[in-house]
Amino acid sequence: MIELGRWLYMDEATGERLSTFETCQESVQAAMGAIVEAWRGNTARQEEKEQVDDLPRRLRSQAGRDPGEPKTKVP
d(CA 24, CA 26): 5
How much is the pLDDT for 67?
Answer: 53
Top-confidence residue, 50 or 21: 21
d(CA 17, CA 36): 27
Q: List, in sequence order, every residue forming a beta bridge with 17; answer none if it has no partner.
A: 10
* Residue 10 confidence class, pLDDT cut points 50, 70, 90: very high
Q: What is the pLDDT of residues 25-63, one digit of tens each?
A: 999 999 999 988 888 887 877 777 777 777 777 777 777
How much is the pLDDT for 27?
Answer: 93
Distance from the first to the final alpha carbon of the chain: 61
